[in-house]
Each structure stands twice: as C-alpha cells, then as structure tokens.
Amino acid sequence: MDRDSRIPLIGCIAFGVVDRGTNLLQVRPTTICNLSCIYCSTDAGPRSRVRSTEYIADPDYLYEWVLEVVRYKGSKGIELHIDTVGEPTTYPYLVDLVQKISSIDGVEVVSMQSNGILLDEGKLEDLRDAGLSRLNLSMDTLDPEKARFIAGDESYDVDRVKTVAEYAAGMDGLDLLVAPVWIPGVNDQDIPEIIEYSLRIGAGKRWPPLGIQKYEVHKRGRKPYGVKPFSWGRFYRELRRLERIYNVKLVLGAEDFGIHPRPMIPSPLTVGMKVEAEIVAPGWLRGELLAVAKGRVITVVGVGEELIGRRVYLRMIGCKHNVYLARIEG
C-alpha cells in the first residue's frame, strides 16, 4: 500500500496505525507471518484458513501517517510499538521504517514484537542502530520438539531463537523482554524454565525482563485441542506465585512501561452513522472488503469481491480506537 493505493493507514486493525488513547501507538507495516502457531489469535501464517489478502505498507507512506498521529498526540513521551497480525520481521523495509519513525520529534521509544526466527546478530545491530529500543521476543518453550509443535512448523529452531535472545540481552542500547504465551496443559512446566533462562541471560535492563501472556480464545483464531484458558483470576494467582519464587515482577501494568492516557485522534465516524464509501480492495480476512470514506479505511463485513470499485452506502457497526467496521446499507 502506498499513496497511489488510496487506502488510508488509519481504520483497519490489520495494518497502519492503531491509537488506543495512550502515548503508545501500534504501528503495523505488514500482515504476513512465517509461522502458524497453534494458539495464534489471528490465524496467521502458511496454514491460515481465514486469510484473504496479505498487505504490506510502503515505509514512506506509513511514516507520513505515523507522523500525523504523533503530532496530534503531542511531541513528547511517545512509544511506537511495531506489532502485526503476523510477524514484523517479514517486512522487507523494517530497518528503514525504524529509522524513519524513531527520528520523529517526541518519539522516545520504538519497540517491536517478534518470534525471532528471522533475526540474527547483524539484523539486531542494524535495528538497534536504526533506533529500536526494545525487542519483545516470543518464546513459549525451550524444548525443541515442543517448540516445533507450538510454532506449527517443523523447521522452527528454538536454539536459533535462544541465540537471538542472548545476543539481544547483551547489547548496549537495546533491551530484551521475553514474552511467552502460557497455554494451559501445553507449556505449564516450561514457564518456570523460561523465567529462569530470561533472568540468567540478563533480559530486562530498562524494562521488565518478562511479559507472560495469557492464552485467549478468539473467534477466528486457532484453538489448540483440549486447551481451556485460565480465568484472569487464576492467571494472576499463578503469576504472583511465580513472582514469590523467582523474586521478579510478572504482573505488569501500564506504569511499568511508562504508558499513560493521551487524547485519541478525532474519529470522523460513529456507530450507527450512514456513510457513502468506495469499495477499494479485498479485506485481509475472507468475507470482508476495504472501503474508504472520510479519510479512513473501513472493513466491510459479509460481502463479496464483486463490489470492489463500486460506491455504496454503509452502516457503521464498530468505531473503537479508530478501527472501523460496517455493513452494506440496504
């Protein structure tokens, strides 16, 4: 997606800029993933059953949208977090993007989520030199066989990811946060091992060393057979138990990352509004299309690709955090 695509980079959860009303902005340059993790909330990767189209944003075009939102938020204390509905390191212009957005006045932190498999020492150094402040590394087990199972990929090499983790932990100017997903009945015994490993290699120089995530069931995500998610109460009890054992903070809040409320960019659309829009492209999921109206991209649900190129009336059904959903009206 570039300027010629006429697709705004605010409005779709899958790409562009997501503003949830804080000083942290999510920057999503691609939808592509190299793995097919068994718990993936967005059913990403080669084994996806719900994807329709993958999107890659031009770095200059994405920079322009990030710049606009940062200027509105106030040019101080901004964190830009590069995450995706896939894997950020599949983005071919990642270093260039980091360099561009880290140079924006007021941006103090650039962080990134990654499964680590496409990283190496040279790429870590390039990203650090471009302005990356923190790597949030997904690592769900240290066991090679179980790691391949969880990743949904027989070529997944957890030792390679460990090499990335250890190198990142030892780098000046780059912080490492290890972020496993706790999948009950699958990696319960692995979580303590990951905690011990993360502390041993020196993760978390500036920020917490670990960000353990709770497995959640999502409507269109993957659901490992027989897995029942923890309740939030049980999850926090387990984290506090591990905190006492390892003397490390595991129950994290926004204050641990300096995240605080900040005015959200104004929304030109509201739930219930009827709006004329142009259907411009397939959606990233099946049964969805992308429409443009009032300077925003809107995901239209329950439609077929025969409508691409047409002007239609939409009824807005979702307008949260400048992410928009609509249905055809009439």
> Residue 75 above 80 pLDDT?
no
Domain ranges of the chain: 3-257, 274-328
Q: Give 129-153 pLDDT, tens digit per residue.
A: 999 999 999 999 999 999 999 999 9
Mean pLDDT of all residues belonging to the chain: 95
> Residue 197 above 80 pLDDT?
yes
3-257 has which fold?
TIM Barrel (3.20.20)
Q: What pLDDT does 5 receive?
A: 87
Q: What pLDDT does 66 receive?
A: 97
Mean pLDDT of 291-311: 92
Answer for the pair 40, 63: CB distance below 8 angstroms, yes or no: no
Question: pTM of the full predicted structure?
Answer: 0.94
DSSP string, 242-281: HHHHHT---S--GGGGT--B-PPPPPS--TT-EEEEEEEE
Answer for the pair 180, 187: CB distance below 8 angstroms, yes or no: yes
Mean pLDDT of 3-20: 94
> Residue 85 above 80 pLDDT?
yes
Q: What pLDDT does 306 receive?
A: 86
> Residue 330 above 80 pLDDT?
no
- The correct answer on CATH 3.30.465.10 for the domain covering 274-328 is no
Mean pLDDT of 199-220: 94
